[in-house]
A and B are shown apart, each in its own frame.
Chain A
Amino acid sequence: MDAEARRQRFRAHVAARLRTLTSELAPPVRALAARPGKQLRSTLLYACATTGLGRGAAPDAPSPTGRREPAADLGQLVRLGALVELVHLASLVHDDIIDRAEQRRAGPAVHVGMGSERAGLAGLSCFALAGKEAADLGGGLPVLVSRAMAGLAYGELLDIERAFDTTLALPDYLELVTRKTGELFQLACVLGAATGDGDQARVDALGRFGLEFGVAFQVLDDCLDFGAPDFGAPDSGKPVGTDHLLGLFGAPTLYALAQDTSGALATLLLAPSFTAADIPAVRDHVRSSGGLAAANALARSRYERALGHLDSVDPQTRAALLDVTAQAWNLG
């Protein structure tokens, strides 16, 4: 079986486990769980779990067991993968209440069907499930998972409090992205890596990789939200550009705003009469002023930095992660 086929099989296991875990939740949450998306987080976890094996071995050399399976048993990895997806799922349910998104993963957002009060409870149930699963798996998991969840929640706060800030500074923007997206990617990589041979330096390196890659990924997602035709649809599966209506401006728009000495773009974005009909004009402005290109360059440089953290990692793991990230980048 080649690497991609193994990953696909792993994703199928994770999806099945996620369905079992969420079976006791409300139907709209089950429906969302049944559309598991790209499963990027659990796929990263899986790729990092190969760490313990074949150190120094050629990328395609068979492992001592004859198959190139990760060191931890598959069942354990599937549970960890499903746990990470469950935390992500819970955050999506709440995220959609917060920004009132109608759509999620090519279907209705959870709160659309059941109202925001019940959706809040459904998301809470997801978090509680994640907590129980983490406790069941034991070890350091409850601490690691709850820390990541606290980071995620803080990132959401930073995300919301920047509303209508047309002068958000780059470090503040990056802090928000790091908490909101990076921490969960980091958790995925750490959990995967920790199933390996117990080399803490490599766990840390892979964690840093995850954090940085999460940042790159989120910046790229901001670009995709711009409907960059060369990249395809954004990860969120939300209609393009709607964040502008909420006063939440991503990297491309922030770059464009910083360039705009005339103040015309800020005036347009802050106008009380601003509607979806104005989004194409914003998009044109941001593109022509180089905002989109600058944001793409930022995403790219963060991506390079993420890969830099893999220098100390064995070639096999590095190859596996490069595979996954390239796919995420839509280059593969």
Chain B
Amino acid sequence: MSGPRRVDVIVTGAGPAGAAAATALAGPTRSVLLVDDGTPARSYDAFLSAPTMEGLRRLAVDLPAQPVDGIDLVFGTRSRRLVPVRAAACDHAALARALRGAAGHAGADRVRATARLLGRDEGWFALALDGVPVLARHLVVATGTSGRPGHWMGTACVQRFAGIDLGTRTTLAVAQPDGTDPRQPPTCVWAVPAPGGGASVGVASVGVAGVGGASVGGAGVGAAGAGDRPVDPDALLALALAELRRIDARFTDLVPAGPVVSGPIDAGFVPERLTVDGLLIGAAAGLTNPFTGEGLSGALQSALLAAESITAHPDDPDAARRAYAQRVRTAFVGYFETARHASRRYHLTWRVLADAASSDQPFAAKARRAILFPEGIAGLGEQRVAIPDAPLVQPFLLACDEVAISVIRREWPFLARLASIEDTGDSQRPRPALLFLGALIADRSTLDVRHATTAAAIELATLGALAFLHPPPPRTGVRDVDWAAAATVLSGDFLLAQASRLIAESAPDASWMFADWLAELAGLRAAALDPDKPSQPELVYAALFEFPARIGAILGGAPARVVHALAEYGYHCGRAFLHAEDVLAVRGERTRLDTTLEAMLAGRFTGLPETLTDRLETADREAVRANLLSGAEAACGEARGRAVASLTAVVNPTAVRLLGQFIDAIAAPCSRDHPARGTADVAGDSATLAGPDPMHLGGQVGLYE
């Protein structure tokens, strides 16, 4: 039988997303065509975020990349801080070559042609490759930004320069939008170190195509959204350089060392858009961060999800489509999922980020990380919890995440990013849902999936409680709304109301206990803030962890004795958590709440004894630090011991394993064999940042100077 060639999968577009998908899909039992029109990849230094690096690791792609351990994050003239990251920099053309090479190596058939979808024919995708018809079971669309009007489109430009050495840091500057024009498209500027010296300076500006759009130049930021006037890349880059020079004198004497590279970016991700004709991935799916122009992490992650979905349903494209749709709904939250509010919401978020930029209080820090950086904030630490009995547990967690995100994504996509979980596979970072789940199966071996909704409520409530437990400090002396404070209160109210609703709907008998838990948290935190009372911040965290464990045991039908033991377990988990925070903060490492010792002391949520912390700025601070560390480690170890001891009441071995690993992960920073990562850690030595005005460093000029 002749006729058009038939293959299992066609991937259109061999950019980072398409090449990654082809790499993951190709193999001896599957024929994959990777089609690209041959537009050459251009050379500049790209920023590879931590999830991008994770994606490359999973694809086993090796790169000549240079490590980046910190982002010098600048918000207009308002604030400046160093955000620790585990990222890298790499030539974009080298990245593209490496990925395409990997696809070829894996067995994908690379074809140079322009692809066009003709339609579907009896379950086959019919494509024309430079006019030649080909049929494929599955279609993955990775053709990059299409420039559809009405989406969140923008432009990015990059140029390589000599005459600067950024070391292992990148700079990300978020230009200050003119606070009074809600339609002005904001702009961000970055500088990424080139291996062997030099740097690439980039700039991205996003606006809704066909709506508003300011002129280029003029008063500071402002570049037309695509669909309006064309953007002049040289003018955008000139703006970027001016901004960088304002921030940092090192950018004064740059010498161009490459051509100006520019291209469109698309931040218009909505889940519904992804599975209409084939599986859309990468820039074609609108997976670009509108605040930073970062798009590689979404490209690789979506490629891997698409590959997993096809691998799971090789003979059933519709099932693959449904699987991809589900994975995508929990893995990504777009920035503009409700177009009607998109413009205003974008600006609100921008204002909140700028106002909260000088705050290290956990809610502000978590929000900043979730919105600006693709790694998200899911979980309470790096140490992972291996999932025992995966067939039982994984569908439960997936359902939990789906509920948690779906209840807030439509109304509040920016907030949903806080809740989005990028953990997949067989291990997770410790989070409240795991605690709840472990307690739920303490005395039984079956799982009622209805309780996934309760688990989602607990996740959302923990996040909401965090808003009230650790809000950013108020800003004074300004005309308009205190955006950071306002957004924190709004987010807290919204998350807690949604959580209450989910509890009322999924576990009505727990409604009272749930409300009582919130009252308890508020009361304990208010007491911890009261300077006239002995500060007992331990109790706040003990309560935060105790409830998920207790309610899990109750809903799981455990006898009173076991319920009591699990409440005890949760209580000590919370204590261990706080002491582990103390340990990380004293070491100057990134804490689980993304905060610093200074912010913890200012916000009164540390278990460190005041008698010692008061002496941190005296001459014997090294001795004081050592003292603080050993005290906190001992307290954490004691709490861990008691948590472990209470697990003797638990019957189900799966629960024992899960909860045992959970407390181990919580207490990991305190254990002897904890790897002492990067000693001169970025959070501690911000003074080495070269900046014209040390005032801007305000919040973080550290304790240890």
Q: Is the CB of B348 within 8 A of A132?
A: no
Is B110 in contact with chain A by the CB < 8 A criterion? no
A165 CB contacts on chain B under 8 angstroms:
182, 344
Who on chain A is nearest to B351 by CB?
A: A163
Q: Is the CB of B518 within 8 A of A131?
A: yes
Q: Is the CB of B518 within 8 A of A161?
A: no
Given A121-B468, A129-B519, answer yes or no on A153-B493 (Cβ-Cβ < 8 Å).
Answer: yes
Q: Is the CB of B179 within 8 A of A149?
A: no
A99 CB contacts on chain B under 8 angstroms:
481, 486
Given A142-B504, A161-B341, answer yes or no on A120-B480 (Cβ-Cβ < 8 Å).
Answer: no
Q: Which of B483, B498, B519 contacts A128 (CB 8 A)?
A: B519
B525 CB contacts on chain A under 8 angstroms:
121
Q: Which residues of A contact B (CB under 8 A)?
A: 26, 91, 94, 97-100, 115-118, 120-125, 127-132, 134-136, 142-143, 145-147, 149-150, 152-154, 156-158, 160-166, 172, 245-247, 270-272, 274-275
5 nearest A-B pairs in the assembled complex, by CB-CB distance: A131-B515, A142-B504, A135-B512, A128-B519, A146-B500
Known: A97-B485, A142-B504. 12 other contacts (CB 8 A): A124-B522, A125-B522, A127-B518, A132-B515, A132-B516, A143-B501, A150-B500, A160-B486, A160-B487, A166-B182, A172-B340, A270-B181
Interchain residue pairs with CB less than 8 A apart (8): A91-B493, A128-B522, A132-B516, A142-B503, A149-B497, A152-B497, A157-B411, A160-B486
What's the minimum C-beta distance from A169 to chain B, rounded to whole angstroms?
9
Q: Is the CB of B180 within 8 A of A142?
A: no
Is B412 in contact with chain A by the CB < 8 A criterion? yes
A136 CB contacts on chain B under 8 angstroms:
512
Q: Which of A98, A121, A130, A271 contacts B490 (CB 8 A)?
A: A98
B518 CB contacts on chain A under 8 angstroms:
124-125, 127-128, 131
What's the minimum C-beta distance from B110 to chain A, rounded to whole angstroms?
46
Given A121-B526, A153-B490, A154-B411, answer yes or no on A164-B497 (Cβ-Cβ < 8 Å).
Answer: no
Who on chain A is nearest to B361 by CB?
A: A117
Who on chain A is nearest to B514 by CB?
A: A131
Q: Is the CB of B486 within 8 A of A147?
A: no
Q: Is the CB of B348 within 8 A of A160?
A: yes
Who on chain B is nearest to A133 by CB?
A: B515
A118 CB contacts on chain B under 8 angstroms:
526, 529
Kindly supply a per-residue 1/0 record for chain B positions 454-496, scoring 1 wherever the CB is within 8 Å of any chain A CB and 0 otherwise.
Answer: 0000000000000110010110000111110111111011101
Q: Is the CB of B479 within 8 A of A245?
A: yes
A94 CB contacts on chain B under 8 angstroms:
489, 493
Given A135-B515, A154-B411, A163-B348, answer yes or no on A124-B481 (Cβ-Cβ < 8 Å).
Answer: no
A172 CB contacts on chain B under 8 angstroms:
340-341
What's the minimum C-beta distance from A14 to chain B, rounded to whole angstroms?
20
B412 CB contacts on chain A under 8 angstroms:
154, 157
Given A97-B486, A120-B471, A163-B481, answer yes or no on A127-B496 (Cβ-Cβ < 8 Å).
Answer: yes
Given A125-B523, A143-B505, answer yes or no on A160-B481 (Cβ-Cβ < 8 Å).
Answer: yes
Q: Is the CB of A156 within 8 A of B511?
A: no
What's the minimum C-beta distance from A246 to chain B, rounded to whole angstroms?
5
Q: Which of A124, A125, A161, A246 contacts B480 (CB 8 A)?
A: A246
Q: Is the interface of B mostly helix, strand, loop or mixed?
A: helix
Q: Which residues of B contact A (CB under 8 A)?
A: 179-182, 340-341, 344-345, 347-348, 351, 411-412, 467-468, 471, 473-474, 479-483, 485-490, 492-494, 496-498, 500-501, 503-505, 508, 511-512, 514-516, 518-519, 521-523, 525-526, 529
| Bound-state Cα–Cα, A124 to B467, Å | 10
Who on chain B is nearest to A166 by CB?
A: B182
| Bound-state Cα–Cα, A270 to B485, Å | 22
What's the minimum C-beta distance from A123 to chain B, rounded to whole angstroms?
8
Given A154-B411, A161-B348, answer yes or no on A116-B481 (Cβ-Cβ < 8 Å).
Answer: no
A127 CB contacts on chain B under 8 angstroms:
493, 496-497, 518
| Bound-state Cα–Cα, A145 to B411, Å | 19
What's the minimum C-beta distance from A26 to chain B, rounded to whole angstroms?
7
| Bound-state Cα–Cα, A25 to B487, Å | 24
Q: Is the CB of A116 within 8 A of B485?
A: yes
Q: Is the CB of A158 within 8 A of B341?
A: yes
B486 CB contacts on chain A under 8 angstroms:
97-99, 160
Q: Which of A146, A149, A154 has the most CB of B within 10 A?
A: A146
Q: Is the CB of A161 within 8 A of B180?
A: no
What's the minimum C-beta distance from A102 to chain B, rounded to whole angstroms?
13
Q: Is the CB of A272 within 8 A of B180?
A: yes
| Bound-state Cα–Cα, A160 to B484, Å | 11
Q: Is the CB of B494 within 8 A of A157?
A: yes
Q: Which of B345, B348, B512, B522 contacts A121 (CB 8 A)?
A: B522
Q: Which of A134, A153, A154, A247 contacts B511 (CB 8 A)?
A: A134
What's the minimum C-beta distance from A150 to chain B, rounded to whole angstroms?
4
Q: Is the CB of A146 within 8 A of B501?
A: yes
A143 CB contacts on chain B under 8 angstroms:
501, 504-505, 508
Q: Is the CB of A124 within 8 A of B496?
A: yes
Who on chain A is nearest to B499 by CB?
A: A146
A150 CB contacts on chain B under 8 angstroms:
494, 497-498, 500-501
Q: Is the CB of A125 within 8 A of B519?
A: yes
| Bound-state Cα–Cα, A271 to B468, Å | 33
Q: Which of A161, A172, A270 has the most CB of B within 10 A?
A: A161
Q: Is the CB of A160 within 8 A of B490?
A: yes
| Bound-state Cα–Cα, A93 to B324, Å | 44
